[in-house]
Amino acid sequence: MRLILMICLCCFSCKNGTTVKNNVQDQTPEKKVRQVHDTIGFTKYNWQLDTIYNRLGIKDAKNNLQWKAAICPHDDYKYAGRLYYESLRGINANTIILVGVAHRARNFSLQDKIIFGDFTHWESPYGDVKVSDLNAEIIERLPKSSYLVHNDMQALEHSLEAIVPFLHRKNKNLEIIPILVPYINYETIDRISNDLSSVISKMLKEKNLEYGKDVAVVISNDAVHYGNEAWSGDLAPFGVDDEGTKKARALDKEIIEKCLVNEISNEKVKNFTEYTVQTNDYKEYKWVWCGRYSVPFGLGLANKLNLALHNKPLTGTFLDYETSIDHDLIKVEDLGMGTTAIATQKHWVAYASIKYE
> What pLDDT score does 60 carry?
80
d(CA 2, CA 15): 5
d(CA 54, CA 186): 41
DSSP sequence for 95-153: EEEEEEE-TTGGGGT-BSSEEE---SEE--TTSPEEEPHHHHHHHHHS-GGGEEE-HHH
pLDDT at 261 over 50: yes
pLDDT digits 0-9 by tens, 66-100: 999 999 999 999 999 999 999 999 999 999 999 99
Q: What is the domain extent for residue 344?
A: 33-356
From its phi and psi, is residue 317 left (phi > 0), alpha (psi between -120 and 50) or beta? beta
Count of domains for the chain: 1
pLDDT at 182 over 70: yes
DSSP sequence for 138-202: HHHHS-GGGEEE-HHHHHH--TTTTTHHHHHHH-TT-EEEEEEE-B--HHHHHHHHHHHHHHHHH
> What pLDDT score does 21 carry?
35
Mean pLDDT value across residues 289-307 = 98
Assess if residue 211 is contained within a domain. Answer: yes
Residue 19 contacts residue 107 (beta carbons within 8 Å): no
> What pLDDT score does 30 carry?
85
pTM for this entry: 0.92
d(CA 20, CA 274): 33
Task: Check residue 256 and report its DSSP letter.
Answer: I
Residues near 12 by Cβ (< 8 Å), separated by ≥ 6?
Answer: 1, 2, 4, 225, 231, 232, 235, 285, 288, 290
pLDDT digits 0-9 by tens, 97-133: 999 999 989 999 999 999 999 999 999 999 999 999 9
> What pLDDT score does 29 carry?
61
Mean pLDDT value across residues 297-318 = 98
Task: Report the C-alpha dihedral over residues 73, 77, 78, 82, rounded to 10 degrees.
Answer: 60
Assess if residue 185 is contained within a domain. Answer: yes
Task: Check residue 60 and report its DSSP letter.
Answer: -
pLDDT digits 0-9 by tens, 49-62: 999 999 999 988 78
Mean pLDDT value across residues 270-298 = 97
Helices (H) and strands (E) in the chain, counts: 9, 15
CATH code where residue 344 lies: 3.40.830.10
pLDDT at 357 over 50: yes
pLDDT at 7 over 90: no
pLDDT digits 0-9 by tens, 136-159: 999 999 999 999 999 999 999 999
Assess if residue 134 is contained within a domain. Answer: yes
Percent residues over pLDDT 70 in the chain: 92
Confidence bin at 292 (pLDDT 50/70/90): very high
Assess if residue 291 is contained within a domain. Answer: yes
> What pLDDT score does 61 carry?
76
Task: Report the C-alpha dihedral over residues 216, 218, 219, 220, rounded to 10 degrees.
Answer: -160
pLDDT at 14 over 80: no
**The length of the chain, given as a count of residues:** 357
pLDDT at 16 over 70: no
pLDDT digits 0-9 by tens, 22-51: 444 445 568 999 999 999 999 999 999 999
pLDDT at 18 over 80: no
Secondary structure of residue 5 in the 3-state scheme? coil
Mean of all residue pLDDT scores within the chain:
92
Residue 153 contacts residue 180 (beta carbons within 8 Å): yes
pLDDT digits 0-9 by tens, 238-252: 999 999 999 999 999
pLDDT digits 0-9 by tens, 188-229: 999 999 999 999 999 999 999 999 999 999 999 999 999 999
As to burial, measured by CB atoms within 10 angstroms (0-12 exposed, 13-18 middle, 19+ buried), residue 108 is middle
> What pLDDT score does 11 carry?
42
Assess if residue 10 is contained within a domain. Answer: no
Assess if residue 190 is contained within a domain. Answer: yes
Mean pLDDT value across residues 324-341 = 97
d(CA 117, CA 120): 9
Residues near 164 by Cβ (< 8 Å), separated by ≥ 6?
Answer: 98, 122, 124, 129, 174, 176
Assess if residue 14 is contained within a domain. Answer: no
Residue 315 contacts residue 356 (beta carbons within 8 Å): yes
Residues near 20 by Cβ (< 8 Å), separated by ≥ 6?
Answer: 37, 155, 156
Assess if residue 17 is contained within a domain. Answer: no
Mean pLDDT value across residues 275-279 = 97
- CA Rg value for the chain: 19
Side chain identity, residue 313: P
> What pLDDT score does 210 carry?
98
